[in-house]
Structures are given as C-alpha cells and as structure tokens.
Structure 1
C-alpha cells in the first residue's frame, strides 16, 4: 500500500506529513521515562528501545514476503501495526513502524518521498492509533483464548487495512493529479485489502499465540506485567533478531512476484500500475532526493533484506547506548 509520488499533490503531502509528524512527536514524548524515579519506569525505558528495534527489523523482513491472494492475480504483505502494537504498545509501535517505512522509502525507494507522510499515516497511524485501540484492545483480555486472539487479530488487521485503503483513495482523489475515478478505484481497493487484511490477521494471530505461550510478558496490556530478568530479556531480543535476519535473508526469496493490492487496483482502474509523476518542481525535487538516498532501489539485491534488518538493529543499538549514556549523566 506504499503510495508513489505520482498519486499525491504537494498540498495533500503537506497535510498528511504534518499530521504524521505531530503524532510522531507525541509518540516520542509519551515514551520518555516518567520523572517519578521509579526503578520500573527506568527499566521500561531502557528496554523499549531495543525491543522496538528488533520488532521493527522483524516486521521489515516480514513485509518483504508477498503472499498471493487466490483468484485475483494480486499479492499482499503484512503491515505489522497490530502485531507491533500488541507487543510494544501503540505509541512505540507507531515509531517502530514509521522507522520501517522511512527506511523503505529512503534506502529502497519503496513508496514516494513526497508521499512519505501519507504512507506513515495510512499504514502506521491508522493501524497503531485507530485499529489497535478501537478494535483489538476491546476484544482482548488477560485470559484470552487462542480463538479470541485470532478473532481480535483478524478484525483489527482488516480494519487497519480497510481504513488505509480508504485513505489512499481519498488522498488520491483530493490530490486531483490523476484521472482515477474514485468510485471504481474504491471498488477494487476495498475488496482486495479486505482479503489481504484477513491474511495479515491470521499471521498476526499465529505469532501472538506463540508469544502468549512462550513469552507472555512481551504482550503489552494483555499479559503479565512483571519485567523479565535481564538475561531472559536479552535472549529474547537475540532470538527475534536472528529470526528477522533469517526471514529477511532467506524466506523473502519465496515472495510472490504478483502486483500488490494498490498496484493491482491501479492497473484495474487506469490500465497501468505506473502512473506518470506530476511535472511540477516539487515532484522533481522529491524524486531527485530519493534517487540520491536509494542505494538499493526496488530491493535490487538478494541481500536487501539483511541490509534493511541490519540498519534497524544498528539504529536500535545506537539508541540504547545513547539512552544509557543520558541516564548515567543524569
């Protein structure tokens, strides 16, 4: 569902970018450790950053695996907002997923640079701050059965994907730089992302059931709240990092080559998935910036998954070291 710059006008990009930036700033403030001086607050703040990093790397790797949607000639991949929110909480999940989207845009040219604010809003904000608290959380409880976990995961994933698909359609219509008829575009966008949302929900439910069984302390707000021992926590981080690297470096080769839901909808609506970019200077500038930063455009190497995961893991390590340095100085 990564929008290209060809779908977005400067005005829509500015509005969505501002909204996303404000919410990201709010997320940063909410994750600052409380000034109460409690040991549990300090411990949580020290552990949330590396956990965000390894979970972000896992979602990045998982997003590289496109699964075919039967009978459509399309494919989809997980967004990961519900999975991240269930483990990190919604605000930390927003930061983690936004980091993935920013990396995909800048390093791999996946999604337009001008459309980055739209993509963060459509995929990260709507799943983490809307679908998770309004759909997933009300359905969950500390003693949730696997059936309830699957039901909550599927319904929340579908809600997040459908809201995102609707937002893409409305942003494209509001931009007014394409000739896409909104009714026809919606007719393809909503059903295909319903199917993709069901697939993501089933995958999310399976992963959360596994976490619930083997590491229940990781579930934000749905499991035990006691902090695990440091050694156990470090082992958990290492295990997630290894799985992310394995998925990014190996299983991504099995991804479907069929167009994703947005590309499929564009081709059915306009006859092509490649829309011509607007000729104005801002679009040209955005394209030039992305061309400069995109060292691996279109994931053009078999090691792209390993590179992306590695960047996110290194960022998490750097953030953890910075946080520890500030705590020592304080």
Structure 2
C-alpha cells in the first residue's frame, strides 16, 4: 500500500508529515520511559522480519492482485504501540530511501496509513482488551485477524481520502473506495492469518515477549531461551528476504491493482518543484531501486536487497535505541 508521490498534493503530504511526526515524537517520549532493555534486540530482529516479509507478496486468488504484510499489528503485539510505531517508521524509511518503495513526499502518508492504525488502533483497541485476562491460541488468532482486517481497512480508506483531498481526478472517490476496500479486506484477512501464526509461535516459544498480556489462568513455560528465540526470528527474516522473496507474486499489490481498475494504469504523472525535488533525492539515495541491482533483473539482486535491507533496518533500530536512550529509564534511576 506504499503510495507514490503522484498520488498526493504537496499540502496533503505536508499535513501527513506533521501528523506522523507528532505521533513519532510522542512515541519517542513514551519509549524513553520504558525500562526493559531486552526489547532492544527484539526491536531490531522484528523490524528486520517485517521488512523481509513485506517483500513476500501473496496472490489474492481470482483477482489478478497481490498483497503483503503491513506489520504494524505484529510489531505492536510484541513491542507495544509506541516502540512498534517507531520500528515501522524505520522499515518504511529504509524502503523509501534505499529501494524507492513509496514516494519520499508521500512518506508521511505511508507512515500514517501503514503504521499508525496497526500500531495504535490495532494494539490499544483490539489486542490489549482481548488479551486482558491472558493469552490463548484462539484469542491470539482472533485479535490478529480482526486487528489486521480493521486496520488495513482504515489504511486503505485513508489512501482514498488523501487522493480525494489532493484532487487526483483520475481516481474518483466513490469508484476508488469501492475498489480499494474489498481487495484490502482480503489482504487484511491473509495478513491476520500470518500474524496470528507468528504470534502463536512467540507465545509458545517465549510468552513474555508478547505485549499487553494479562495474567493467564494457565502457566506456560517457555520452550525456547530468549537468545534462541531471537536467533530463530533473525534466521526467518534472512530466509524470507533472501530466499522466499524470489517466489513472491508478480501481480500488482492492492493499491496498484485498484489504480489499474479505476484509472487504467498503476502509475500517475505529477508535475511541480516539490515532486521533482523528492524524485531527485530518491534517485540519489535508492542504491537498489525496486529491490534489485540497477539496470538488472538478476535474482541475486532481490536476495541481496532482502538481506541487506533487513540488516539495515535491524541496525537502524538498535542505533535509535542507544541514540535516543530507549528502554533505559530503570537502569539510569538505579545508577543515580
């Protein structure tokens, strides 16, 4: 659902940057008040995992469309809404700058549409209330599916609102929204199934890694050590980005498919200094455009992009934890 710059007017893009930056600022403040330093490696490997799994487009049968995970619901279920939101920003930033996936001017929109709803609406209004009295496999599955469906619907609807306010006449609102919502309903359901599978694994392997879980009536012993769980997620991220990504669906994703149905094309043109500047910046920073070596369709480019991108996201997440002193309040208080 990564929006290109041509889908938003500069004023709309600027407004969404302000909103997303505001949410990020609050998140930084909240995460700095947390004290669990074990979340630092979790933030890194889960950011890498979400980056890698976003490369795995899955076909929506009978439509000629595909979808991929957003990941906000999954991240917030493990890290909480604030750390999850910041991790998603890291994923989207790397995708935008290094791989030209999503427009630079539209980055604020993409953060809001793909990260805000999953991390805040999904976790606070769906995940935490359902998990209040403890987690079970059924509860995790229900929360994951319902949360992913709802938040993806909100994200898809936001895209149509942003294009409407931007005056994108090629995408009439009523037709566009009637196309976007059903296809993202299907994508959200599949994402919910995948998210539930991952979170159920975490619940079985290391239940304390799940956020917002109340006291359960049944005590569950961890089946894997913390270190082995982190390594397992890291290996899964490497396999998804480096190997499974080679078999991703070639069909356009839900947004591109909807544009093709409504406007007859997956790409629109936009003119103006703001668009030209954003494009020039991305041309400079995108060393692996479209997750490939420049001017090459070699499979090695996809694998390289998946692994390198995941490593960069993990490194960026860890660096931000230390730069902004995340999860260190308790340590500093004890030292003082």
TM-score higher than 0.5: yes
Shift of 1:178: 3.7
Distance 2:262 2:318 in 1: 44
Gaps (5+ residues) in structure 2? Answer: 293-300
Distance 1:313 1:283 in 2: 30
Structure 1 residues 224 and 310 mapped into 2: Cα distance closer, same or farther (>3 Å)?
Answer: farther
**Paired residues for 1:135-174 under 5 Å:** 135-174=126-165
1:249 equivalenced with 2:242 (yes/no): yes
Asked if the contact 2:87–2:317 (Cα under 8 Å) also holds between the matched residues in 1, the reply is: no
**Paired residues for 1:30-179 under 5 Å:** 30-33=30-33, 41=35, 44=36, 46-179=37-170
Question: What per-residue deviation string (whole Å, max 9, x for no partner) do you get for residues 78-120 of structure 1?
Answer: 1111111110001000001111001000000000000000000
Gaps (5+ residues) in structure 1? Answer: 35-40
Shift of 1:238: 2.5
Shift of 1:319: 4.3
Q: Secondary structure at the match of 1:56?
A: helix
Equivalent in the alignment of 1:209: 200
1:296 equivalenced with 2:288 (yes/no): yes
1:283 equivalenced with 2:283 (yes/no): no
Aligned residue-pair number: 317
Of residues 228, 236, 241, the one that matches 2:229 is 236
* TM-score scaled by length of structure 1: 0.90
Of residues 183, 187, 193, the one that matches 1:196 is 187
Question: What per-residue deviation string (whole Å, max 9, x for no partner) do you get for residues 184-226 of structure 1?
Answer: 001110000000000000111111111111110100111669x
Asked if the contact 2:242–2:307 (Cα under 8 Å) also holds between the matched residues in 1, the reply is: yes
Equivalent in the alignment of 2:310: 309
* TM-score scaled by length of structure 2: 0.89
Asked if the contact 1:5–1:283 (Cα under 8 Å) also holds between the matched residues in 2, the reply is: yes
Indicate the larger mover: 172-181 or 143-152.
143-152
Equivalent in the alignment of 2:298: none
Equivalent in the alignment of 1:38: none
Structure 1 residues 209 and 101 mapped into 2: Cα distance closer, same or farther (>3 Å)?
Answer: same
1:187 equivalenced with 2:178 (yes/no): yes
Indicate the larger mover: 125-134 or 59-68.
125-134
Equivalent in the alignment of 1:37: none
Q: Secondary structure at the match of 1:75?
A: strand
1:29 equivalenced with 2:20 (yes/no): no
Asked if the contact 2:52–2:237 (Cα under 8 Å) also holds between the matched residues in 1, the reply is: yes
Structure 1 residues 256 and 73 mapped into 2: Cα distance closer, same or farther (>3 Å)?
Answer: same
